[in-house]
């Protein structure tokens, strides 16, 4: 045999097709949650049990520290990226098109110059290519749209428009002039 090939028989027999893709989170947005954010996020159905358990775990840990817990660096706290990771996993586990009997995880990979990768690893309940692509697209559409609820955003390299906005001394919300000549008038 002189040509390469892929063996799809295993995928067909398992009944699921693997999703393995990362969201590159802007590291500048990673931080501890405020109490107000914890309260608001605890109302999210997929997070309520996680946050209740995690708060108890952290409270027990911090109380066991005794007086050294007064120093903030000694205390454990909830982070927005960790809470988003728990949310994304709960979302996948409750998704009707994600295979419940196959590996499902959301893991944080080593940070890179492009951000902090959160890898989504799961299997769809179908092996049909078009359905797989639709399911994968729907999952990532939703996760991308919900990121701001956690104070997070994707890392994105500056574009030409970002540079023009910055050089013109504008904010991204202000409209850019249509012509370069108009920039000096603004």
Predicted confidence (pLDDT) per residue in 54-109, tens digit: 999 999 999 999 999 888 899 999 999 999 999 999 999 999 999 999 999 999 99
pLDDT of residue 103: 96
pLDDT of residue 3: 59
Q: What is the pLDDT of residues 8-37, one digit of tens each?
A: 555 555 678 999 999 999 999 999 999 999
pLDDT of residue 63: 94
Lookup: tokens for 121: 């690893």
Average pLDDT over residues 134-155: 97
Q: What is the pLDDT of residues 102-140, one digit of tens each?
A: 999 999 999 999 999 999 999 999 999 999 999 999 999
3 state DSSP class of 3: coil
CA separation for the pair 56, 162 (Å, rounded): 43
Domain match, 77 and 30 both: yes
CA separation for the pair 181, 79 (Å, rounded): 46
Domain match, 122 and 48 both: yes
Domain match, 126 and 180 both: no
Total count of domains within the chain: 2
Q: How confident is the model at residue 167 (pLDDT cuts 50, 70, 90)?
A: confident
Domain match, 152 and 162 both: no
Structural domain that includes position 65: 12-157
Task: Quote the pTM value.
Answer: 0.80
Q: What is the pLDDT of residues 39-57, one digit of tens each?
A: 999 999 999 999 999 999 9
- Residue showing tokens 């892929």: 6
pLDDT of residue 6: 55
Residues 6+ apart with CB under 8 A from 18: 11, 121, 122, 123
Domain match, 92 and 179 both: no
Domain match, 23 and 56 both: yes
């Amino acid at each position: 045999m002189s040509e390469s090939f892929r063996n799809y028989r295993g995928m067909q027999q398992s009944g699921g097709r693997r999703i393995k893709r990362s969201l590159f989170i802007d590291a500048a947005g990673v931080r501890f949650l405020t109490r107000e954010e914890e309260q608001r996020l605890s109302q999210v159905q997929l997070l309520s049990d996680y946050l209740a358990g995690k708060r108890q775990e952290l409270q027990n840990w911090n109380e066991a520290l005794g007086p050294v817990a007064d120093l903030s660096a000694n205390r454990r706290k909830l982070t927005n990226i960790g809470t988003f990771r728990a949310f994304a996993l709960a979302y996948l586990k409750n998704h009707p098109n994600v295979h419940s009997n196959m590996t499902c995880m959301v893991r944080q990979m080593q940070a890179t110059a492009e951000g902090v990768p959160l890898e989504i690893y799961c299997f769809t309940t179908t092996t049909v290519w078009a359905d797989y692509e639709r399911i994968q697209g729907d999952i990532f559409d939703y996760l991308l749209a919900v990121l701001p609820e956690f104070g997070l955003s994707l890392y994105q390299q500056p574009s030409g428009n970002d540079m023009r906005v910055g050089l013109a001394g504008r904010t991204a919300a202000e409209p850019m002039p249509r012509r370069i000549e108009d920039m000096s008038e603004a």
